[in-house]
Chain A
């Protein structure tokens, strides 16, 4: 193993970007149905702590992953109920979800703070492909969840563009009146996709603790990547494949700190490098927040708007 630092950095970027892939694809599905769920960070944290507890108790990282995934989905049910059934303001509800999820996760994680997690996820080297120079090391010498995230992206992209329900999903986010008039259940579509979004965010959180960070460290476990995932959705223009690329770009920003230090570059203080992904997030959001840009990028037209059949 004598790979160059930059190859190792890119490999680390893929791994660092993987929680973002899960969370962003999940958020894309929710937003495509017209529901903005700002609670990603809360769902990821709850997913992470649940994954830790389940994995530690069962000794199986797979059980941990499943538990974390379900925890994220469970929290999303709350958001779906508030924003679809109660037609609450989605921004307020989403922020509440972050606060609630963070609080609950911190509470649950109190006893395990700092404990190392024994059964982590083991890398799975894909034969032949991993032997390709450079690319092999970056892409095919990773853990199974990295490969699973590609599957999720591919499935989401196919589902959205090529299936009947995917069409219904997009209609629901673009024009719920039309979906309703054409005999589709807007509420059901929104519930399902918000919950699936939560499951994926939970999976992202689980991945973070199972494969990325050495131990539970409260809100620092996810360190704001839920917010990055939200920015990523806009950056990716609600397209799963672009979200994958974007996730790796942000992953590179997250991994750059380590790489530059390893390479002996100390002209920039490490603290500044740690800010990089967040600065990138702010930059992306500032550029994209102009409403004209939003429209051009293809934000679902009814995003964030509760739907009620018009009863005057």
Chain B
């Protein structure tokens, strides 16, 4: 260790922590030291090992090597319970909340100090007090299933504070938030740090890390590659450390005026079904050579919109017109024949058949002729692998084994193989690392230049802003805001995403 021993022991510390999963080394000799009262960011791409490190600190995983220390004392956590007992609490990316319980019930769940006969009164009071103190307003009697995602996150944080956490680990906390909610979260984080708590803030977003943290540890491929004081580091050097090379994620927009409308949605109403949100009177058109981005917080009708445009769902009223052909409710094949390609968000669920090979997956949209021509399929797959730079062992590799970015490229290869003029894509770069994101954006940008009409539906505002010539905001199944890509500003979009009625 190059550092001299600190006067005060760090609130939490990882020393030479390693953890391997079958086939991957998630953490290799990771050192991390987080001081009391500081906000410490862990920055890294997907798969860099951030979440694994966090899970080790929170007692969910045991390290293969190395140790965790809390306030200078070695800690051997066997479970999250042990970690909580030592004051280490984690807010997972996927919340650990019982939907059907009230906030107070969730807060007291598993609390060893709770008497055998349940009493949530004290918890209700404490929840209110903590909410007041740290700017985390939640109604302790509300049922979690009735809360918004932002509120659920507040419950998670309150829950950990209630259990006496002095070290809070937030795993990608802003992924589910609107920009305004993220602002509020930053304030809460600062308030907690001011109270002497330590916050570990895990993110792959540079701007957030710069905004909220005092220290930053950058991880790549399971290693710590950089450590810095946030105030004295700049965007470029952190980005380079994170990705391992220079990156260009500049905004791309159409250079020419858009042409004919190729995809027209008129007055669409779609009934909600199961978990999907209904659409109400949605009209939009996408012209040749134009990317129209649809932004919105998850669960506001994105899926219904994508599916109805792709012909997978029948609207109760309204029309879908693809290149002048009315495809309303005629099924995905009719939409495809009219020249539409659909790249669903759920790559390995709806997009690809995970256990089939790349060459077989490429064939799925052309189930003809009856007998498969192996050689031809293989040649097509090789061509696609080359053209889309898919990193795979070969055309026979099952798509299940591909990384997110390569699976997405394989999916795009199939969907774009017929030269569609209309492309509906949902969150195409979700979960991809910076390199793959760049590649996917370039693929879409090239199609736009070639005169395709692209409807881009995404919960990630950065993604929408990076490509779109026009941006619409979907809120509770309605389009509530429209702006051109150039004039779009995060604040207005965020307000619209949160359902602010000024728009």
Binding site for B on A (CB under 8 A): 161-168, 170-171, 174-175, 177-184, 292, 298, 301, 309, 311-312
Contact = CB atoms under 8 A, between A and B. Distances in A.
B100 A301 contact: yes
Best-buried of B84, B109, B116 by chain A (most CB within 10 Å): B109
A182 B90 CA distance: 10
B60 interface: yes
A181 B92 CA distance: 9
B117 interface: yes
Contacts of B24: 312
B370 interface: no
B143 to A, nearest CB: 12
A183 B97 contact: no
Contact of B110 (A163, A183, A309, A311): A183
Nearest to B91: A181
A312 B80 CA distance: 17
A307 to B, nearest CB: 13
Contact of B109 (A161, A162, A182, A309): A182
Interface residues of B, number: 32
B237 interface: no
25 contacts: A161-B118, A167-B118, A168-B110, A170-B100, A170-B101, A171-B98, A171-B109, A174-B98, A174-B99, A174-B100, A175-B96, A175-B98, A175-B99, A177-B94, A180-B80, A180-B96, A181-B92, A182-B159, A183-B84, A183-B112, A184-B81, A184-B109, A298-B100, A301-B100, A311-B61
Contacts of A183: 79-81, 84-85, 110, 112
B105 interface: yes
Given A163-B117, A174-B100, A179 B109 contact: yes
Binding site of B, secondary structure by majority: helix, strand, loop or mixed? loop
Contacts, number: 81
Given A175-B98, A178-B97, 9 more contacts: A163-B116, A164-B118, A170-B101, A174-B101, A175-B97, A175-B99, A183-B79, A183-B81, A183-B85
A162 B117 CA distance: 6
A180 B61 CA distance: 12
Interface string B286-315: 000000000000000000000000000000
Given A175-B98, A182-B96, A167 B109 contact: yes
B109 A168 contact: yes
Shortest 7 CB-CB contacts between residues of A and residues of B: A183-B81, A182-B110, A181-B96, A178-B96, A183-B110, A174-B98, A184-B110
Interface in B187-226: none
Contacts of B109: 167-168, 171, 178-179, 182, 184
A301 B99 contact: yes
A164 B116 contact: yes
Interface string B60-100: 11000000000000000001110011000010101011111
B116 A179 contact: no
Contacts of A161: 118
Best-buried of A167, A168, A179, A301 by chain B (most CB within 10 Å): A167
Nearest to A182: B110
A164 B98 CA distance: 15
Contacts of B94: 177
Nearest to A183: B81
B402 to A, nearest CB: 16
A302 to B, nearest CB: 10
A169 to B, nearest CB: 11
Contacts of A182: 80-81, 84, 96, 109-111, 159
A56 to B, nearest CB: 40
Contacts of A178: 96-98, 106, 109
Contacts of A179: 98, 109-110
B393 interface: no
Interface in B449-477: none
A81 B79 CA distance: 22
Contacts of A165: 116
A170 to B, nearest CB: 7
A312 B94 CA distance: 14
A183 B100 CA distance: 19
B5 interface: no
Contacts of B92: 181
A171 B80 contact: no
Contacts of B118: 161-164, 166-167
Interface in B29-79: 60-61, 79
B479 interface: no
Contact of B80 (A175, A181, A298): A181
B81 to A, nearest CB: 3
A101 to B, nearest CB: 33
A98 to B, nearest CB: 30
Best-buried of B24, B98, B114, B159 by chain A (most CB within 10 Å): B98
A292 B274 CA distance: 8
Contacts of B81: 182-184
Contacts of B117: 162-164
B21 interface: yes
B98 A311 contact: no
Nearest to B159: A182
Nearest to A174: B98
Nearest to B114: A164
B2 interface: no
Nearest to B92: A181
B367 interface: no
A177 to B, nearest CB: 6
Contacts of A171: 98, 101, 109-110
A36 B500 CA distance: 45
Nearest to B23: A312
Contacts of B116: 163-165
Contacts of A166: 118
Nearest to B81: A183
B115 interface: yes
A141 B112 CA distance: 44
A164 B106 CA distance: 12
Contact of A177 (B96, B110, B112, B274): B96
Contact of A311 (B21, B90, B96, B159): B21
Nearest to A291: B274
B424 to A, nearest CB: 28
A312 B100 CA distance: 27
Contacts of B111: 182
Contacts of B115: 164
A162 B118 CA distance: 5
B108 interface: yes
A179 B85 CA distance: 15
Contacts of A174: 98-101
A61 to B, nearest CB: 33
A161 B119 CA distance: 11
Contacts of A311: 21, 61
A181 B100 CA distance: 17
A179 B116 CA distance: 17
B98 A170 contact: yes
B105 A167 contact: yes
A170 B96 CA distance: 14
A167 B112 CA distance: 13
